Structure 1
């Protein structure tokens, strides 16, 4: 069975001691795109978070010799991407994972100070792309409890990135901090679609381990984990939609669907060649026809795609799918808990 409670690290101050940091001048020639439509809850495109993050001692050290405090928001976003995930491969050095950890913690400290989990518009999509590049860590911290215990041990103020037994670099942060950053970037529909695609891919890897003969926990655990992660993302979408007008909500949904369906451009491999990519790609293509309701039924639909492709009878996944409804509610509870913790409870969905 899946974990029913989000693991969290001890709550201790993550702020480093104040100290002077010498920074040599450097030229940073970078560009970052902005979405065509954004919910700007920060009250402006630059917003308070850009200046706060740019002046954070951890970020200034990470980006030195460039002067992060003197960058505009787009320059800062591009510099952070270059430092934390320069090639977008999903493979990282300890130093790169350290930058990503510092970024999540700097953003979350800002959220706590302002009692609001939101960031400036130009940071949203770049931060979402960074989270997607660390999707293995994101997925493990949310739903893989045994791995999450290792993350908890490394997430505190005296911890940091580490190499696991396979030599893979892992990036640990507190679960609630991660959830709040995910929520903050989701105001941008392109950023939300980026997060959803990343989690779809990781959940598909879990589901692809279900074979034609799998039974018991071999089926219920990956199905429940998928439902938990996607339930969290469903709750984030509902919270975003509750903040804008009906026309803004409709436009956000349309832009999310556009980002997920990818215009049918990505080739979907055969199930026998790459089961995980087949599951993710087939579901994403189906969103164009299924519309926004396809997001709410994603776990059911992906499990259905798996059952059909692997030759499992539909009744063999019926009970795990019934149990998945409760797992989805766990993900929703995590978001509420994370936002309440900083004094910003989630808004009620529009009716």
Structure 2
């Protein structure tokens, strides 16, 4: 295991020098081969020596002649391996050097052993004093130091992995590869000149034993882990490894690793790491040129690539996986279909899978399920290798590659709308989502899967927004920009959920928060749709439009409000919608220029009152549902309010940019008032009263308008004139709220509209 000091102080040029000498050696062997062929082996080929002795001598001399040839091949391969090693080592040393220089530029010192410390000697006297007495400064320094140390340690570990791979190759290249060549431990006549090929061969043997359920030593497990980790981004290694293992072997290996992971427990991460390594290997091996938008599976461009030399592995592996995935690896009474362990393995990847591969795999799994509708049902508790509903798990994996999710549901691409109809829709063509079957005597009791549609929700959110699903502590930003494809997906989601008759648009529980996150990002559009903006009405036929600000959702208000009502069955999902709309209202108010006309002031306030009026109508429809008890009503209100207030000013980060850092004065004041009121109450019933007060449109808008006015130079709220302006604006809010609530009521109760 090379140390930091050894890596930085070693002269790597000795590797290329040695490689040159091995190349020279191959040349010398070639000279000897020619002389031996001419002066020794050649005499057995002349007419002057015939008979049995000549035949015997020819065979014996032929063995030696072939050894000269094998020696050349081995020497050339050794030279190639040494040059390969130099390339790898030089690359990693360069990265380590850059990391050290970066740390030094950041104010750190790096010792000869690679230890990173904060270089206080370079600080001025004043800065050093501040550092010694400022805990926040000290904490930031510790975090920076740890970050640089981790970066350096990882590069040293990567060099260790690479060094181990070189060792494997150098030991293997000198092994006689032909047991029938007439020699014992002779030269290698069929050597490999690539380190990764030797690593793949070594890893393949270990993996095959594992997949067969055979005992494998800890040392071999560690080597398999190292080989996959060291070659995580090497396509040649990945395809060689999986090509030998095959789809069937990949399924079996995934099953064995998952089973052993379950038995090992959380404290033993060895099998978890192996699953991650295998998943990353599959992700690397199945990369396809281009993307779904220009080379989707089935397209002429994709087919051309598939038939090329570069596409051979992908074609063979996906065809085999289609068969292995639908295969039952256990009994009919305790089935285990191949897709289950394979997709469970995929969930351990820390790199995104290719969008074409994910889309093709999704299509294949849907087709397999349609042929065998019980394929993804959990039967009893005998199999614990991931979720039985591997299709939903795949959608969760897909959400980590937002572009793949967008393509999978894009109605303008092949199968996009059919995917939504099958997974999200209702009716005869829709999926009957799997439940768990538990044997009970002579019968089977079916129960709901607690994780049902979790993957679908994540994929829908990623597909409509263009980024990975938000975390629990993140909120959607109401003015996020979207592509045409993302807007089409959002439009198609709303259209698929919207009822063809009546007013009820039921949204499954697991989809409510993800869809609220997605809709929350389109608040700048839903805000206009809810007030029946003419431009959005004109674009509703297409469901979206594009301008200089990106692409916009433009569905009709009826469908949108009914779907938002379905989403709002979850109080936290409603809170997300309410919070995102409130942020957008505040942004619009803050954009009113100083010394604006009354009309300019009133417009965003009236629009805000209308939008919150619609949300108020949705909220009342949920609360007045005959299925909701008094306790449930109080609990819903309390949870909704907590979610609205929680993180009201927390920005989200998309593409590395903080998009929620705009001024939010109105939301800030309103949230502060609500927070104080909540602190004074002790239970959900009391908090429900707070919700009634502060989620009421006129109360919220009054606080927001008042704080907005106080920050302006053209409204003096201490004068009669300023108070009159505020009073009139408040009246505008009331009128707009009434209109918005009426719109919601019309679409949620009147089936003729």
With structure 1 as the length reference, what TM-score do the two structures score? 0.72
Inter-partner Cα distance in structure 2 for 1:308 and 1:278:
10
Name structure 1 gaps, 5 residues minimum. 1-21, 32-53, 268-273, 345-351
Inter-partner Cα distance in structure 2 for 1:168 and 1:264:
25
CA shift in 2, pair 1:60/1:252, >3 Å: farther
State how 1:44-193 maps to structure 2 within 5 Å: 61-62=416-417, 68=423, 72-87=452-467, 90-108=480-498, 111-113=499-501, 115-143=503-531, 148-156=533-541, 159-164=542-547, 166-193=548-575
Inter-partner Cα distance in structure 2 for 1:58 and 1:104:
18
Q: Are the aligned partners of 2:648 and 2:668 in contact in 1 as well (CA < 8 Å)?
A: no
Measured after TM superposition, the shift of residue 343 of structure 1 is: 6.4
Instruction: Give 4+ residue runs of structure 1 displaced > 6 Å after superposition.
Output: 56-59
RMSD: 3.2
User: Which residue in the other structure is 1:30 paired with?
Assistant: 396
Inter-partner Cα distance in structure 2 for 1:278 and 1:220:
18
Measured after TM superposition, the shift of residue 215 of structure 1 is: 3.2
User: Which residue in the other structure is 2:611 paired with?
Assistant: 229
Measured after TM superposition, the shift of residue 334 of structure 1 is: 0.5
CA shift in 2, pair 1:58/1:117, >3 Å: farther
The answer to whether structure 1 residue 280 and structure 2 residue 655 are counterparts is: no
Measured after TM superposition, the shift of residue 74 of structure 1 is: 2.1
Partner SS for 2:635: helix
Inter-partner Cα distance in structure 2 for 1:254 and 1:77:
24
Partner SS for 1:232: helix
Inter-partner Cα distance in structure 2 for 1:160 and 1:335:
20
Q: Are the aligned partners of 1:58 and 1:102 in contact in 2 as well (CA < 8 Å)?
A: no
Inter-partner Cα distance in structure 1 for 2:538 and 2:459:
29
Q: Are the aligned partners of 1:261 and 1:286 in contact in 2 as well (CA < 8 Å)?
A: no
CA shift in 2, pair 1:115/1:325, >3 Å: closer
Inter-partner Cα distance in structure 1 for 2:601 and 2:735:
16
Structure whose CA Rg is larger = 2
Partner SS for 1:25: helix
User: Which residue in the other structure is 2:387 paired with?
Assistant: none
Q: Deviations over 1:100-146 (max 9, x none)?
A: 101101111xx234642332211111111110011121112224x6x
User: Which residue in the other structure is 2:726 paired with?
Assistant: 317
Inter-partner Cα distance in structure 1 for 2:647 and 2:517:
19
Partner SS for 1:240: helix
Q: Which residue of 314, 335, 342 maps to 2:744?
A: 335
Q: Deviations over 1:253-289 (max 9, x none)?
A: 111121111167748xxxxxx7742222332232222
CA shift in 2, pair 1:339/1:57, >3 Å: farther
Partner SS for 1:163: strand
State how 1:209-224 maps to structure 2 within 5 Å: 209-224=591-606
Q: Are the aligned partners of 2:665 and 2:707 in contact in 1 as well (CA < 8 Å)?
A: no
The answer to whether structure 1 residue 306 and structure 2 residue 708 are counterparts is: yes
Per chain length, whose mean CA-contact separation is higher, i.e. which structure has more relative contact order (CA < 8 Å, sep 6+)? 1
CA shift in 2, pair 1:258/1:215, >3 Å: same
Inter-partner Cα distance in structure 2 for 1:160 and 1:307:
37
User: Which residue in the other structure is 1:247 paired with?
Assistant: 631
CA shift in 2, pair 1:58/1:295, >3 Å: farther
Name structure 2 gaps, 5 residues minimum. 1-361, 367-390, 398-408, 424-429, 434-451, 469-476, 652-660, 678-689, 718-722
CA shift in 2, pair 1:242/1:130, >3 Å: same
Measured after TM superposition, the shift of residue 318 of structure 1 is: 1.3
Inter-partner Cα distance in structure 1 for 2:486 and 2:582:
24
Q: Deviations over 1:71-122 (max 9, x none)?
A: 64222222211221131772211111111101101111xx234642332211
Q: Are the aligned partners of 2:641 and 2:695 in contact in 1 as well (CA < 8 Å)?
A: no
Partner SS for 1:23: helix
Inter-partner Cα distance in structure 1 for 2:643 and 2:752:
31
CA shift in 2, pair 1:77/1:114, >3 Å: farther
Structure 1 stretch displaced more, 98-107 or 83-92: 83-92
Inter-partner Cα distance in structure 2 for 1:84 and 1:155:
17
Aligned residues: 287
CA shift in 2, pair 1:60/1:115, >3 Å: farther
Q: Are the aligned partners of 1:63 and 1:80 in contact in 2 as well (CA < 8 Å)?
A: no
Q: Are the aligned partners of 2:602 and 2:729 in contact in 1 as well (CA < 8 Å)?
A: yes
Measured after TM superposition, the shift of residue 23 of structure 1 is: 2.9
Inter-partner Cα distance in structure 1 for 2:504 and 2:364:
33
Q: Are the aligned partners of 1:155 and 1:173 in contact in 2 as well (CA < 8 Å)?
A: yes
